[in-house]
Amino acid sequence: MKQERSHDLITVSDRMTDAFLQKHVGKVMPVLFERCVGDDVYEGHTTNYMKVHARSTKDLSNVIADTKILSVAEEMAFGEVEA
């Protein structure tokens, strides 16, 4: 019984997180990029704590950049830095 309730709460939480992220797809948001996590891929957060990955040939470490949210997956958003 306890495990079922726990599983149900985790499922509801995952759905709510996905819905929250999905409503931002297509929007341009300021992102504070904190570090490079791969080949020209930077990770940062929006003002509402969404984790965002975006590609850039410029060093975005410690830079706030307007970023269009293109898609979401696995509790993370993927975006494109606006020129």
Looking at the predicted structure, is the pLDDT value of residue 57 above 80? yes
Q: Above 90 in pLDDT, residue 39?
A: yes
Q: Is the pLDDT of residue 83 over 90?
A: no
What residue spans of the chain are helical by DSSP H?
Answer: 2-22
Are residues 42 and 35 in contact, defined by beta-carbon separation less than 8 angstroms?
yes
pLDDT of residue 74: 87
| Residue 30 in tokens | 């300021």
Average confidence (pLDDT) over 7-21: 91
- CA–CA distance, 24 with 15 (Å, rounded to integer): 15
pLDDT bracket for residue 60 (50, 70, 90): very high
What is the C-alpha separation between 83 and 23, in angstroms, rounded?
A: 23
pTM for the full predicted model: 0.86
